[in-house]
Structure 1
Amino acid sequence: MTIKPIKALSDNYIWIIEEGKEAVVVDPGEAKDVLDYLKEQQLDLAAILLTHNHDDHIGGVEEILEHYPKIAVYGPEETKPLADHILQEGNTFELMGQGVQVFKTAGHTLGHISFLMGNQLFCGDALFSAGCGRVFTGDYQAQYEALQKFKGLNDEVKVYAAHEYTQTNLRFAQSMEPSNKEITEALNQVQELRAEEVPTLPSTIKQEKKINLFLKAETLEDFTTLRKARDAF
């Protein structure tokens, strides 16, 4: 299995999961580059996975379905009517011979979910490298609980977040913990990657436990204070 990013909008990644000649698309905010890639690589689209209902994650679905009308679209309740396979916490299913687990990871939206496919985590806007999504719902408890689920995953799990926010997140983290050598080292590495326009993703759960202040927050109060500070950064 290989996983490749397609850049979309200003800073989104649409992830293409490939196994042989089959492909699954995660959070297609745009359609054109996805359709072009599938055609160029002569891939058969097997399914679309949606983490939540924001337009930069679902904006390309209708156009893709015009070309692939029979494929399954998996997502939470909030992605209806685009999704025809509605998922919730604890659901499991199989794609391309791989088992997929579903976690509710709300906070950013009311029904946000994440997908764990083997050791590959597709977490939309619930978890970023060195960060997490804005809590648009105001439900900081839900977002904090989502982070605890991520923290409980194996260190080897790769984190395929949906945005290239790593550099800004690490700049914020460094402002909060200027003497943290792991954060400073990570920021230097990320700056080098971005100078070459190389994606900073995927990360790993092991790496996030070191550099992600939100994941390291020990209480809901600590997390809420940190998230509000990041909003104002």
Structure 2
Amino acid sequence: MRLTALPAFADNYIWALVAEDGQAVVVDPGQAAPVVAAATQQGWVPRAILLTHHHDDHIGGVAELQARYPGLEVHAPADPRIPLATHRVVEGEPVQALGQRFHVVSVPGHTRSHVAFHTAEHLFSGDALFSLGCGRMFEGTPSQLLASLHKLASLPPHLLLCCGHEYTVSNAVFARHVDPTNAALLQRHEEALAMRRDDRPTLPVSLASELECNPFLRTGTHSIQQAVSAYLGRPVTDEVDVVAGLRGWKDGFRT
């Protein structure tokens, strides 16, 4: 299946996986217009939607798409704030769409019901994991966030990360502040800057790259723990303390 990133709003990505016969799975359509425009121009038809969480910039286009494409399946977590789902997903029960198997991973932290989906090639992480960062904790706890990040980090490293926002360059600035001697991170930052100068997406990116570069996936490493301890002005006690300190640091970070 062909992967397509559809820009939406200021910095969102709606993802589409398009089969050879022109049928498509769409992930997190916060707006209908980019999906309709791409489908019309490129000759494909949405047949299923995957939703990672309830925020409007990820689900706002669903009703219009359902009206335009009758019979559209909508797979979403069990959350009453997502009212238009035709199927509720749970971890451990894969979703079948257009002959493709999507594994469901429960990843609370950004929201309490957040899920990610992955195939044998792609990881659709919504706002749970960004390139070089992760989503803010709006509803979850540091221990939930850490457990979710560990789940994602344990997936096959060849998976291509397809997240919900184009935050890579700004995340890189913070990541390099935390981890200034990381050569892989420096290279990723430079590559991302070049991509954005050419108006290209910095995504997808391999999970292997994120494991080398993303400080939120490296909370067990000595260099990240030292940096967070210096920021907090005290020794960190465990990885939950590290991720809480790192998330708080990022929330207040200004370049």
Structure 1-normalised TM-score? Answer: 0.97
Match of 2:36 in 1: 35
1:199 to 198, 201, 213: 201
CA RMSD after TM alignment: 1.1
Q: Deviations over 1:94-143 (max 9, x none)?
A: 11212111010111001000001222110100000111000111411111
Larger radius of gyration: 2
The alignment partner of 2:157 has SS state of: coil
Contact 1:135–1:143 (CA under 8 A) maintained in structure 2: yes
**Conserved? CA contact 1:93–1:101, under 8 Å:** yes
| 8 A Cα contact 1:98 1:118, kept in partner | no
Aligned to 1:106, what secondary structure does the other structure show? coil
The 1-side partners of 2:194 and 2:137 are apart by 30
| C-alpha distance in 1 between matches for 2:47 and 2:119 | 15
The answer for the alignment partner of 1:101 in structure 2 is 103
Match of 1:3 in 2: 3
Matched-pair identity in %: 38
Say whether the 8 Å CA contact 2:47–2:71 is kept in structure 1. no
Letter in 2 for 1:171: V
Q: CA deviation at 1:216?
A: 0.7
Tell me, what secondary structure is at the counterpart of 1:81? coil
Q: Does 1:231 align with 2:233?
A: no
Cα distance in 2 for residues equivalent to 1:25 and 1:19: 12
Q: Does 1:73 align with 2:57?
A: no
Tell me which moved more, 134-143 or 206-215: 134-143
SS at match of 2:136: coil
* CA–CA separation in structure 2 for the residues paired with 1:17 and 1:51: 15
Question: What is the CA–CA distance in structure 2 between the aligned matches of 1:40 and 1:180, rounded to whole Å?
Answer: 42
What is the one-letter code of the residue matched to 2:131? S
Q: Measure the CA separation in 2 of the matches of 1:93 and 1:38.
A: 23
Rounded to whole Å, the distance in 2 between the matches of 1:125 and 1:180 is 24
SS at match of 2:6: strand
| Runs of 4+ more than 2 Å apart | none
Match of 1:112 in 2: 114
Structure 2: tracts of 5 or more residues without a match? 221-238
Number of residue pairs aligned between Structure 1 and Structure 2: 233
Residue identity opposite 2:139 in structure 1: T
In the superposition, the TM-score normalised over structure 2's length comes to 0.89
Q: Is the 8 A contact 2:118 2:124 kept in 1?
A: yes
Give deviations 1:36-83, integer Å, cap 9, x for gaps: 211222212210110000010011111111101311100001253211
For residues 192 and 16 of structure 1, what CA distance do their matches in structure 2 show?
24
Q: Report what 1:92 is aligned to.
A: 94
Q: Unmatched 5+ residue regions in structure 1?
A: none
